[in-house]
Structure 1
Amino acid sequence: MARRLSKLDLVRSGAMVGFLGPTGLDYVIAEYACTYIGAAIVPLPANIPSGDIAKIAGKAGIETVFTSVSCIDLLVNATRQNWHISTIILIGDASVRDIEDIRSTQIRETIGTQDGPLITDLRQLENDSTANEHSWQRNSAAEDSLRLILYTSGSTGLPKGVMFTEYALREYWKKALTENRGGDPELLHPMPQVDVGVSYMPQNHLMGQLNVIESIVRGGRLHFTTFGDMSSLLEDICLARPTTLTLVPRVAQAIYHAYQSGFAQQLRDTCRDRTEIEETLRYGLLGDRLMFMRTGTAPTGEEVTSFLQRAFEVPVYDMYGSTEAGYVSFENRLTSSVVTDHRLVDVPELGYLTSDTPFPRGELRIKTTFATAGYLHDKQATLELFDEDEFIRTGDIFEQRPNGEFLWIDRCSNIVKLAQGEFVSLWRLESLYVDESEIVAQLYLYADSRQDHIIGIVVPSAVFMNEHSPETGEMANENIIRDRLLAEFQRIAKQNNLKAYEIPRDVLIETTPFSRKMAC
């Protein structure tokens, strides 16, 4: 494929190449072919507004885009905002009619120049036998050559492009190889003889990239989810019967709620005892080959983690890292093969000091072998990422224990100061309330520095809503549901010794689950 792309002059060494669409086999083949040529890959987030996609692509200088038929409308809308495309290469299942429609005059008038971009598809390139006659050899790449840019953090403003060099990507592959051969002393679990995984994170996320790398290195089999929005995730996991699973918090919570809902339904509708139901769910929900799970990208609640271990009878390992720094810790211990230096730094405005007793607390700053070179075309953000001694500012508060463990406490940026001067960690409270409640499926907390309290938007669990809905299917009296939710928050707050200002004073009830599409 690299030979074909090079022969037709579709991708050149040093070029910025965009990818827009759900991850699949064609996506991975095309991405690695471009990397082999020496291009820099820019997976574009498909869950952000088209205007933001245009800004990202324009800033990166992307002119060639690999995309799927399902994302053409999004791509067209993005190009209407001063983003010129010279080449579109379709990946995935595209029929002849799809391709002809995309090549139509209307599309050409919308995208790029008057003549429109060159539009082809991966299948056509694969069938081009003349490429074998093309003499081409990959040039050796400098370690500081740009190879990958990941745009992942868009919670505040436009996402920033984290840069990965040739050296950084090689380190990720070497780490996977070392682990696979049993040479990693920090590895606590045996690797399965036949590794089967499920990839549900997009390729603009580091976890999505690492899932593919690890599967290739292990000679395993990786299943991509049917739909990019993860609407079929649990069904896909059940069909794939994975040996390992890496979970983000919301997927761990989805499994938790699916188990609870399934257990309650079977207990109500069948004559089976609890032990039989638990065994059915243990091997039926996630398949019957699971050996271990890993949690990452953000801390998963202790109650959910403990539940996963009990319900599925497999170890659940906690991992911590970031797109900018890579792997940082495994089971609360810094990864010695990756972290070359570290230190805690006082955050006095939030009350975290390295002189705290009984354990030092502060922001963790690190140097790693996977460290990014910075953010693409954003000198100010890059300067803010590193401190004066070139340590990466993780933005995370940790507590250092004498046994060498580093326990995550909070995010610096997730803390809001209320009108009376109290500091509130919204992210921690959201996780706590969701993890310890069977009736709260999703929660968004809001705080304003001009107010002395917090409020929330709650998506109640399906089981709870069914119990409180009349036979007509209409929602029960909203005041009754609100009172029940507020009482639940009070219960959890009392059990965890929360302060009065950490308890939502009021809630809005939302029956539609939060999704990425809501933000677009």
Structure 2
Amino acid sequence: QRNHQCMRRNTISFRKKCWGMKLKEDMNPLLLQVFRSVVWVYSVITFLPWYLLSGAGANLDRARRVKARSVSGRPAGPYRATNHEDGSQQKLVSSLHPGVDTLDKVMEHGAARFPERNCLGTREVLSEEDELQPNGKVFKKVILGEYQWMSYEETYQAAVCFGSGLAALGQRPQCNIAIFCETRAEWMIAAQACFIYNFPLVTLYSTLGGAAIAHGLNETEITHIITSKDLLHSRLKDILLEVPRLQHIIVVDSKPTSWPGFPRGIMVHNMDAVQELVAVARRRPVPSDIAVIMYTSGSTGIPKGVMISHSNIIAGVTGMAERIPDLDETDTYIGYLPLAHVLELSAEMVCISHGCCIGYSSPQTLADQSTKIKKGSKGDTSVLKPTLMAAVPEIMDRIYKNVMTKVEEMSSVQRTLFVLAYNYKMEQITKGYKTPLCDSLVFRKVRSLLGGHMRVLLSGGAPLSAATQRFMNICLCCPVGQGYGLTETCGAGTISEMWDYSTGRVGAPLICSEITLKDWEEGGYYSTDKPHPRGEIVIGGPNVTMGYYKNEVKNREDFFVDSNGQRWFCTGDIGEFHPDGCLKIIDRKKDLVKLQAGEYVSLGKVEAMLKNCPFVDNICAYANSDQSYVIGFVVPNQKQLMALAEQRGLRGSWEEICNNPDMERDVLHIITEAALSAKLERFEIPRKIRLSAEPWTPETGLVTDAFKLKRKELKSHYQEDIERMYGGK
């Protein structure tokens, strides 16, 4: 009984931490009053000179201004961004620099303006060793050196030589070539080579399964593929016989090696050797030429190839760049997301267009605490000290939960000082004020997790919870611009402005796009809804892509051209526009399930509400239309669950703890409490759950590279559990 009460107290403490706007202040009242008095005196003394010098009033005005308006005056839209200066309606913009209308010209522009500046950086591996973990598993740990840089001129020349070498190997203009490789400098050099020589680049996620890889290569009739040594041996080699047209494999690793055991008719080359082949004249692309055929991550089935023209990407990059204040050649960007993802490719093209440095990383080496970094050595952010970063919510959720767990473990005085500073800063930033003293004394260590110099953090790929966004704004001391876009729109739809500290919204339309709301009768969403117009989000503009490769049925379903010749894409996402012109994503058509009694459940909404619970690392809500309740699959937080098991006197391996029915009941109780605090309806709350000892990573095939749930694969994976939880077994 005592253990259960202890568990309940911990649950309530965590719930307040997760769901409350403010954190609880637990401290001696006298000491608390002294601290508040010091803060008040400091604020009074510094306010007037700081306010006059900082321009806080202007920032607050910008945050409150109307950022988009309906062109037609109707609540359905279309909505376009407004001008910063006078609030007038923006015309859609499709080009960043005069005359730079294709991607090869972006690289040329960068090399001409910033020839000696650092362009692409990579850390050398100094040593590797195997490290035995407490659970018996062996992890490979690395010690990495400083970043080694290629200048803009060197990068451009390397791309020209590689493109010429590919042409010498028989690659022809406007014939597809594939890249299947991890995020690294060679990926970008290869991409620039393809842009320069007008080879449409087929991108495939490095975590796709064999069947999906073969499908993409065969559908696009690939004869040449660019890959890495690791992926060649671990993923490609087994499917080569399923790709009959393939003739040339180019391996980006620099060390020459022999390639025995490949099927007859396939030649394997090193990137360096290809760059040294005889020079071949280039044929420039035009804006309407296909630059990339980007295969989606396959969250809803077989990956689809999205045809993206040079002009599409240029327009998307233009829209994104406009939302990053003071972007210039002094910025440093850290690249670690898959370059086969439109968010990462677009972000890096934004950087190249402005002469920024791009240092490459990976999720396993990103920070000092990352899984592949040897204890005591430096992660990539500590060495690079980036100012710009794109992130998916999964990464930010991990940072948020880790820091909040450490706060929970602090002494009462330390914890309350942190919470007081957190609450104080939250109040200040909503007024447009800065808090240099709090940033320096309290949040410096948290900020150092990403190198200590971060000034803009872009979030995309999936919805970012309000709690995590608020935490990142406060503790990392930099604005988080939450964006919304899809592969079909070059990742460009909306991005929140950097001085807008509201949470749970994705900002106003970018200057390259406009958005209209389409009524969805089945879901009950209409543009005439009060207080906010709601409906399916439909994006139009020069960033809307050319459609799906060899898939006219889906093209007719999802794309259309209006009477003015503008392309539009129907996203399937449901949104609402607020009075200031900012968009909020509230639902997804494919995530809506009607229960047996007629209630509609948005699975995505349930997951978003529960994912910030400290006991939940990941969750998938599931419902059958012939059943009356929701169930869930939960990847629990190992540290929290093992601590809870110890409180209950339970012993065993991680798998045994997760399979224990008592633990399932306890976690279900915690999740139910969290759901009620988040004001979910009773019918939306999972009634039964299954704890999964196995984390969901792209390698398992249960989530995409952006960590979106693959519902079809998850359903197949947990089919027996579904039948059990619904009473079948």
**TM-score of the pair, normalised by structure 2:** 0.63
| 1:107 aligned residue (255, 262, 271) | 262
Between 303-312 and 257-266, the greater mean CA deviation after superposition: 257-266
Between 83-92 and 370-379, the greater mean CA deviation after superposition: 83-92
Mapped partners of 1:519, 1:277: distance in 2: 43
SS at 2:634's partner residue? strand
Matches within 5 A, 1:286-301: 286-301=450-465
| 1:337 aligned residue (505, 508, 511) | 511
Aligned match of 1:468: 644
| 1:450 aligned residue (618, 626, 637) | 626
| 1:125 aligned residue (274, 277, 289) | 274
Change over 3 Å in CA distance of 1:40–1:387 after alignment to 2: closer
Give the Å deviation of 1:351. Answer: 1.0
Matches within 5 A, 1:306-317: 306-317=470-481
Mapped partners of 1:188, 1:125: distance in 2: 37
Question: Is 1:394 the counterpart of 2:574 in the alignment?
Answer: no
Change over 3 Å in CA distance of 1:229–1:283 after alignment to 2: closer
8 A Cα contact 1:11 1:37, kept in partner:
no
Aligned match of 1:77: 238
For the aligned residue pairs, the C-alpha RMSD in angstroms reads: 2.8
Question: Is 1:52 the counterpart of 2:212 in the alignment?
Answer: yes
Higher relative contact order by CA 8 Å / sep ≥ 6: 1 or 2?
2
Aligned match of 1:253: 397
Deviations 1:23-77 (A, max 9, x none): 2111211121122111100111221210111111100111100111111131122
Q: What letter is aligned with 2:493?
A: V
Unpaired runs of at least 5, structure 1: 109-114
Give the Å deviation of 1:485. Answer: 1.6
Mapped partners of 1:15, 1:478: distance in 2: 56
Larger-gyration structure (1/2): 2
Mapped partners of 1:472, 1:308: distance in 2: 36
Aligned match of 2:326: 190
Q: What letter is aligned with 1:89?
A: I
Mapped partners of 1:346, 1:333: distance in 2: 21
SS at 1:34's partner residue? helix
8 A Cα contact 2:164 2:282, kept in partner:
no
Q: What letter is aligned with 2:518?
A: V
Matches within 5 A, 1:261-410: 261-264=405-408, 274=418, 278-279=442-443, 281-326=445-490, 327-331=492-496, 332-335=506-509, 337-339=511-513, 341-387=514-560, 389=562, 390-410=567-587
Mapped partners of 1:297, 1:56: distance in 2: 22
Deviations 1:433-456 (A, max 9, x none): 012x12211111111112111111
| 1:504 aligned residue (681, 686, 689) | 686
Deviations 1:362-411 (A, max 9, x none): 11212111110100011111111124745310111111233322222111
SS at 2:668's partner residue? helix
SS at 2:179's partner residue? strand
Change over 3 Å in CA distance of 1:141–1:123 after alignment to 2: closer
| 2:253 aligned residue (80, 85, 92) | 92
8 A Cα contact 1:374 1:382, kept in partner:
yes
Change over 3 Å in CA distance of 1:493–1:271 after alignment to 2: closer
Change over 3 Å in CA distance of 1:241–1:229 after alignment to 2: closer
**What is the percent sequence identity of the aligned residues?**
23
Q: What letter is aligned with 2:355?
A: G
Q: What letter is aligned with 1:361?
A: R
8 A Cα contact 1:143 1:165, kept in partner:
yes
Mapped partners of 2:222, 2:167: distance in 1: 20
Aligned match of 1:22: 182
Mapped partners of 2:526, 2:197: distance in 1: 49
Change over 3 Å in CA distance of 1:200–1:57 after alignment to 2: same
Aligned match of 1:212: 348
8 A Cα contact 1:447 1:454, kept in partner:
yes
Change over 3 Å in CA distance of 1:480–1:138 after alignment to 2: same
SS at 2:237's partner residue? helix
Mapped partners of 1:145, 1:43: distance in 2: 16
Mapped partners of 1:22, 1:266: distance in 2: 39
Q: What letter is aligned with 1:243?
A: T
Mapped partners of 2:210, 2:365: distance in 1: 17
Give the Å deviation of 1:496. Answer: 2.6
Give the Å deviation of 1:197. Answer: 1.7
Equivalenced residue count is 492
SS at 1:66's partner residue? strand
Q: What letter is aligned with 1:152?
A: T
Give the Å deviation of 1:336. Answer: 5.1
**TM-score of the pair, normalised by structure 1:** 0.87
Deviations 1:330-359 (A, max 9, x none): 2244335212x4321111101111222222
Mapped partners of 1:46, 1:486: distance in 2: 35
Deviations 1:277-330 (A, max 9, x none): 953532331121111212112220101101111212221122111111231112
SS at 2:208's partner residue? coil
Give the Å deviation of 1:121. Answer: 0.6
8 A Cα contact 2:386 2:450, kept in partner:
yes
Q: What letter is aligned with 2:311?
A: Y
8 A Cα contact 1:292 1:316, kept in partner:
yes
Unpaired runs of at least 5, structure 2: 1-160, 374-378, 422-439, 497-505, 703-729
Question: Is 1:236 the counterpart of 2:410 in the alignment?
Answer: no
Deviations 1:246-270 (A, max 9, x none): 22111111111222244445659x9
Question: Is 1:429 the counterpart of 2:606 in the alignment?
Answer: yes
Mapped partners of 2:324, 2:166: distance in 1: 43
Give the Å deviation of 1:425. Answer: 1.0
Mapped partners of 1:277, 1:442: distance in 2: 33
Between 457-466 and 40-49, the greater mean CA deviation after superposition: 457-466
Mapped partners of 1:301, 1:56: distance in 2: 33
Mapped partners of 1:271, 1:336: distance in 2: 40
Give the Å deviation of 1:143. Answer: 2.8
Change over 3 Å in CA distance of 1:201–1:233 after alignment to 2: farther
Change over 3 Å in CA distance of 1:3–1:507 after alignment to 2: closer
8 A Cα contact 2:317 2:347, kept in partner:
no
Mapped partners of 2:488, 2:415: distance in 1: 52
Matches within 5 A, 1:61-72: 61-72=221-232
Q: What letter is aligned with 2:569?
A: I
Give the Å deviation of 1:472. Answer: 6.1
Mapped partners of 1:401, 1:175: distance in 2: 21
Aligned match of 1:483: 665
Change over 3 Å in CA distance of 1:13–1:233 after alignment to 2: farther
SS at 1:72's partner residue? helix
Aligned match of 1:141: 285
Q: What letter is aligned with 1:39?
A: F
Mapped partners of 1:173, 1:279: distance in 2: 32
Mapped partners of 2:335, 2:538: distance in 1: 30
Aligned match of 1:154: 298
Mapped partners of 2:415, 2:607: distance in 1: 37
Mapped partners of 2:622, 2:698: distance in 1: 18
Change over 3 Å in CA distance of 1:71–1:336 after alignment to 2: closer
Between 327-336 and 26-35, the greater mean CA deviation after superposition: 327-336
Mapped partners of 2:529, 2:604: distance in 1: 23
Deviations 1:401-438 (A, max 9, x none): 33322222111111112222211111121111012x12
8 A Cα contact 2:315 2:512, kept in partner:
no
